[in-house]
Structure 1
Amino acid sequence: YVEKVYNLPEGSRTAKGRALANILELQKGEKIAAMICVDGFEESEQRIVLATEKGVTKKTMLSDYRNHRKGGLIGIKIDEGDNLIGARLTNGSNDIVLVTSNAQSIRFPETDLRDQGRATRGVRGIKLKTEKDEVVAIEIVAEDAKLLIAGANGLGKRTDFSDYRVQSRGGSGIIAIKSDKVVGALSVTDEDEIMMFTKKGQAVRSPIDTVRITGRAASGVKLVNLAAKDALIGISKVVASEEDESGEAEEVEVIEGEAPTEGTSSEVPAPEGDVTEE
């Protein structure tokens, strides 16, 4: 689905927002898995890389989405029982990182993926070791960024991308963090802030530079204080606000029923242009 940014309702940081069903012509039962901002589609050499829970990845030229319709376009053929978990914009020669709920990770060059049309399935990005494991995040390696990984137990860490060696696409990968369950991973810089969502409906906003950098196999540090029987279920990257530069964590309440689904990691961008949603 494609929509102009200026058609989206503008509000304050704490505003509730407007239901996407009132903006996009979503099909019944359909949910948004990713949102990216683009300047345009014509003559673009950029690609969109998609990832599913079962480890399928796919790369398509951004220009293949230029003839978009209100009712949406097919972006990938999904196997029964599988779901799209993320989409990232690439330059055609990036490295891609996939992270699973069982803390496995793989980094492989984007060139391992051939360009495919929109109405195709894709290929294996990572081999899952168990049926219960699933991919929870896809990220693009950036020189000035680090990989933030968060566990359901509220622990997390930042790690240099260089700690994740380049492998061939389709392998089982390597351990990403010592944690029972990973709920999300994000490419972050020191200037970023993150929002953390818990099972009991709380959200905590914190500057990323408070999370110290550790090695790939470390268990990490406490990201959020969890109440009894509560758990972290998702993380999002947010643009740092000018109105709050205290550098301290801020806790806000999430309206019941509007916390993200379990295993959610996402990015909230704010540039101008077209918004492409998968």
Structure 2
Amino acid sequence: EYTDLIALIAELKAVLDSELLVTDIIRQELLELKEKYGDERRTEIAGAVKDFDIEDLIADEEMVVVVSHSGYIKRIPSDTYRQQHRGGKGVIGMGTKDDDYIEHIFVASAHQYILFFTDYGKCYWLKVFEIPEGGRTARGRAIVNLLRIEGDEQVTTFVPIREFDPEKFVFMATENGTVKKCSLEVFSRPYSAGIIAINLVGEDRLVGVQLMEKDYHIVLVTKKGMSIRFSEGDVRSVGRPAQGVRGIRLAENDKVVGMVTAAEENSTVLVVTENGYGKRTLLDAYRKQSRGGKGVITVKTSKRNGDVVSVKMVKDGDELVIISSSGMVTRMGVSALRKIGRNTQGVRIMSLNVDEVVVDVGQILAENEDE
């Protein structure tokens, strides 16, 4: 037994001292394994790692998107703003510098697309979750860092959408009263450098963009309180590079400040002026006209209430988010405003300080409405 043990030790030492022997032993053992287990696999390996998009990891919650005059943008969960009574002072909606203020606000879910339309008539494309989230007092991020905007071009209008439905239209309006309609589908593949939405003439600027379907009514509203209502059928659908046609004939020193669309007569037109006054009037109070006319009075503008700054199509149950030039924000229900006639000045909906004006109004749709 001792002799056998000494022989085994000598053999093992010889193996350890020889790389050739080690390799030969490994080869022999592998051949034995192949001989014993070399039949085909009896179980099947199936499946693979599934690809996923970052969007799958982000909750599709309602967001308030805020944009400042200097071009800063952020998104905030909509429940950050509590509802207040009419005439309230509001809460801070964005931290701004002395030469900046909040200029636009709108509500969209995190997974929605946003078409960004500029005053030069160009269009850019993002999803809401691609916009950095920030707190109420945060300034946000410069839009030029998210979109390839050049020169003094400014984003003026935002359209949140879920899909590029070919049965829907994009309806545009300019300061000089020109309107244009084209299929939403033509905006489905914008380039990173932007695409032309409408060709503008001279110093004209794009001020309003709305999504709509067939048989909708359009209402254009001007700075001096004039308005015109006509059918979308009065404007034929054209390609993106087209200039459009006349929507309203403007008086001297007047310009279009906004546009709304609706399919139902019981909708109400909300008009807000720079000095914090607002009013809503039934759509059927605006008689239908042919496009290109002078229109009718929608609100009496004066030194008391100031020029018109915003127009919305609203219903009971909707809520408003009103922004002032100092960055104050107030949220109120539409039902707090009773329906009144066109030829009136409206009631105070936001208390303002000296040299402070309303710059924009956002709208939160009632929960039972489709976005």
Instruction: Give the structure-1-normalised TM-score.
Output: 0.79
Report the equivalent of 2:61: none
Report the equivalent of 1:45: 167
How many pairs does the alignment contain? 241
2:155 alignment partner, SS class: coil
The change in CA–CA distance for 1:232 and 1:37 in structure 2 (over 3 A counts) is closer
Cα displacement (A) at 1:82: 1.2
Matched, 1:161 2:253: no
Report the equivalent of 1:20: 143
Report the equivalent of 2:182: 60
1:98 to 211, 217, 220: 220
For the 8 Å contact 1:212–1:221, the answer to whether it is kept is no
1:171 alignment partner, SS class: coil
Report the equivalent of 1:32: 155
Report the equivalent of 1:237: 363
Cα displacement (A) at 1:14: 6.0
Report the equivalent of 2:351: 225
Give the 5 Å matches for 1:232-271: 232-238=358-364
Cα displacement (A) at 1:240: 7.5
1:33 alignment partner, SS class: strand
Report the equivalent of 1:133: 254
1:82 is aligned with what amino acid? D
1:149 alignment partner, SS class: strand
Moved more, 112-121 or 136-145: 136-145
Measured in 2, the distance between the counterparts of 1:84 and 1:45 equals 23
Please list the CA deviations of residues 213-244 of structure 1 after superposition, one character each: whole Å capped at 9, or x if unmatched. Answer: 11111221111122234333332224679xxx
Cα displacement (A) at 1:120: 1.3
Report the equivalent of 2:336: 210
Larger Rg: 2
Measured in 2, the distance between the counterparts of 1:23 and 1:68 equals 14
Give the 5 Å matches for 1:53-92: 53-92=175-214
Moved more, 230-239 or 17-26: 230-239
2:300 alignment partner, SS class: coil
Cα displacement (A) at 1:11: 4.7
Report the equivalent of 1:187: 313
1:58 is aligned with what amino acid? K
Give the 5 Å matches for 1:165-180: 165-180=287-302
For the 8 Å contact 2:220–2:260, the answer to whether it is kept is yes
The change in CA–CA distance for 1:4 and 1:230 in structure 2 (over 3 A counts) is closer
2:233 alignment partner, SS class: helix
2:353 alignment partner, SS class: coil
Measured in 2, the distance between the counterparts of 1:78 and 1:17 equals 30
Measured in 1, the distance between the counterparts of 2:364 and 2:138 equals 14
For the 8 Å contact 1:153–1:232, the answer to whether it is kept is yes
Moved more, 53-62 or 208-217: 208-217
Instruction: Give the structure-2-normalised TM-score.
Output: 0.60
Aligned-residue CA RMSD (Å)? 2.3
Please list the CA deviations of residues 163-197 of structure 1 after superposition, one character each: whole Å capped at 9, or x if unmatched. Answer: 11111000000000112321111111222222223
For the 8 Å contact 1:155–1:220, the answer to whether it is kept is yes
1:119 to 232, 241, 257: 241
2:255 is aligned with what amino acid? E
Q: Percent identity?
A: 37
Report the equivalent of 2:94: none
Moved more, 165-174 or 15-24: 15-24
Q: Which runs of 5+ in 2 are unaligned?
A: 1-123
2:354 is aligned with what amino acid? A
Cα displacement (A) at 1:71: 1.0
1:24 is aligned with what amino acid? L
1:171 is aligned with what amino acid? G
Please list the CA deviations of residues 55-93 of structure 1 after superposition, one character each: whole Å capped at 9, or x if unmatched. Answer: 010001111123321111000011221111110001132
Please list the CA deviations of residues 256-276 of structure 1 after superposition, one character each: whole Å capped at 9, or x if unmatched. Answer: xxxxxxxxxxxxxx96xxxxx
The change in CA–CA distance for 1:14 and 1:164 in structure 2 (over 3 A counts) is farther
Cα displacement (A) at 1:137: 0.7
For the 8 Å contact 1:53–1:85, the answer to whether it is kept is yes
Moved more, 78-87 or 27-36: 27-36
2:259 is aligned with what amino acid? I
Q: Which runs of 5+ in 1 are unaligned?
A: 242-269, 272-278
Moved more, 172-181 or 64-73: 64-73
2:149 is aligned with what amino acid? L
Please list the CA deviations of residues 22-56 of structure 1 after superposition, one character each: whole Å capped at 9, or x if unmatched. Answer: 22112222211211122333x61111001111101
Measured in 1, the distance between the counterparts of 2:136 and 2:281 equals 29
For the 8 Å contact 1:146–1:189, the answer to whether it is kept is yes
For the 8 Å contact 1:177–1:218, the answer to whether it is kept is yes
